[in-house]
């Protein structure tokens, strides 16, 4: 029975809790037991909150039995990436200097999830400050892929995706500054949404105005993502991008109804010169065929303007250098070599270079807007190949179908960084498996602030596949 509870979606589990078929205590005990059993193999948690979670579960059960009103996530287990503040629960940012850091407040998104009844069971792994596409850190070691122990989890929200993919908890809070939700979602076969900028307020970001980082949901299904998003969304005074954003009914939009007739989808396999594994290309072609069967009109677009890693890096690494130069000077002996190397990449970026990168960010936004002026959705592979080897070095070469390429970021995830810079919503969905049984991801991109419509298309695609019944061993 406990294993069955771990395989329920949040929507299913919430309905069973509301009808008193399942107790929040049962559900919480089941996922904590699974977390403890799998942690040694997967290494996807930095902290487990067993005692606190069980106390919350007992109170949630009391409320149900007393007939008291409760929220849409009542009694549902939740994990939070260890870069997002949780009141009274250790939040390390994956970094040794913060190994004993305990915030005195929740991030706004976390506070909303808790207020809706979600039960925090633990903090999931992240590289230092979410700084790379692989999930490892001097603080906790490497997090393994849910499907194969010899492959990486992706990053930087690798622990969040692995916990969801392995049935430890149906809901996970992640973050995404260049693909950090969508990359591990594709590696582990789950749903990773980077919503439009401002739809979920980001109360921790230091430069809110030039921000390209998002606090995001990760789940196994589009419906669960919509449920999380409904709770997390809404303006907050801490985030100027969130103020005045119109409310949307994400839950209704995620119900797979109707078809895609009359919808136009522009697609592109890769930016020019970026290789794609044959299994990924085949899966992408099959995904386009499914969208066509659903009624969508398909048209190819050029990826010419999307090779944007240098622009993303100039903006992102300059922000990191401003934030972490003193930390590196004081604690360089306990920070990873990869983290310190990334800070060094911004040493030669001048103020003029940084401003030029912001100009290029604006030009990219206008280009994406021009594409979406003649289409409803853009489609592309999330990654150019499935999960990398577990020992992959961020500064090492990447192998794609037997060929080796320098510079991992633009060769592995050229399609995720652009939409952090433009603010458009982008979602990664499982669309197939490679010959080794590793998940492959499809990314769909929607109109600016058209998140509900993007979820509708994603839900229709999800129902057109038979992948939700597959679980890792």
Q: Just list the catalytic residues.
A: 81, 156, 180
Q: From the CB of residue 67, how many other CB atoms can be counted at a distance below 10 Å?
A: 7
Which residues, in sequence order, are CB contacts of 69 under 8 Å at separation 6+? none
Considering only CA atoms, which of 81, 269, 311, 273 is closest in space to residue 175? 81
Q: What are the φ and ψ backbone dihedral angles of 387, each rounded to 5 degrees?
A: -50, 140
Q: From the CB of residue 54, how many other CB atoms can be counted at a distance below 10 Å?
A: 17
Q: From the CB of residue 114, how many other CB atoms can be counted at a distance below 10 Å?
A: 20
Rounded distance between C-alpha atoms, residue 16 and residue 10, angstroms: 10
């Amino acid at each position: 029975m406990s294993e069955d509870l771990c395989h329920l979606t949040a929507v299913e589990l919430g309905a069973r809790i509301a009808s008193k078929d399942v107790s929040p205590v049962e559900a919480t005990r089941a996922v904590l037991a699974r977390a403890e059993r799998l942690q040694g193999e997967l290494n996807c948690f930095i902290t487990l909150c067993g005692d606190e979670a069980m106390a919350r579960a007992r109170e949630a059960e009391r409320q149900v039995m007393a007939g008291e009103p409760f929220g849409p996530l009542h009694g549902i287990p939740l994990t939070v990436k260890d870069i997002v503040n949780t009141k009274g629960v250790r939040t390390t940012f994956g970094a040794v200097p913060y190994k004993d850091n305990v915030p005195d407040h929740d991030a706004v998104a976390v506070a909303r999830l808790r207020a809706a009844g979600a039960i925090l069971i633990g903090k999931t792994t992240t590289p230092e400050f979410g700084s790379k596409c692989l999930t490892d850190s001097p603080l906790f070691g490497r997090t393994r892929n849910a499907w194969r122990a010899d492959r990486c989890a992706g990053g930087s929200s690798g622990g969040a995706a692995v916990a969801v993919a392995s049935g430890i908890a149906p809901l996970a809070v992640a973050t995404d500054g260049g693909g950090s939700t969508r990359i591990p979602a594709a590696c582990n076969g789950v749903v990773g949404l980077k919503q439009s900028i401002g739809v979920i307020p980001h109360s921790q970001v230091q430069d809110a105005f030039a921000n390209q980082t998002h606090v995001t949901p990760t789940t196994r299904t589009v419906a669960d993502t919509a449920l999380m998003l409904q709770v997390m969304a809404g303006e907050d005074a801490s985030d100027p991008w969130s103020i005045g954003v119109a409310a949307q009914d994400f839950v209704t939009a995620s119900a797979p109804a109707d078809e895609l007739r009359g919808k136009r989808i522009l697609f592109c396999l890769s930016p020019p010169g970026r290789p794609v594994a044959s299994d990924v290309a085949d899966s992408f072609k099959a995904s386009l065929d499914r969208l066509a069967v659903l009624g969508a009109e398909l048209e190819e677009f050029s990826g010419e303007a999307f090779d944007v890693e240098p622009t993303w890096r100039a903006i992102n690494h300059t922000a990191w250098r401003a934030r972490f130069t003193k930390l590196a000077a004081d604690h360089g002996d306990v920070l990873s070599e990869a983290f310190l190397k990334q800070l060094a990449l911004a040493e030669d970026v001048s103020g003029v270079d940084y401003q030029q990168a912001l100009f290029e960010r604006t030009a990219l936004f206008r280009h994406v807007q021009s594409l979406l002026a003649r289409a409803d959705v853009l489609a592309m592979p999330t990654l150019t190949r499935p999960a990398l080897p577990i020992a992959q070095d961020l500064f090492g070469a990447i192998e794609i179908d037997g060929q080796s390429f320098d510079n991992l970021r633009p060769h592995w995830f050229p399609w995720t960084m652009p939409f952090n810079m433009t603010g458009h919503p982008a979602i990664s969905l499982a669309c197939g498996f490679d010959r080794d049984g590793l998940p492959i991801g499809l990314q769909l991109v929607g109109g600016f602030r058209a998140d509900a419509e993007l979820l509708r298309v994603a839900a229709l695609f999800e129902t057109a596949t038979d992948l939700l019944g597959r679980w890792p061993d």
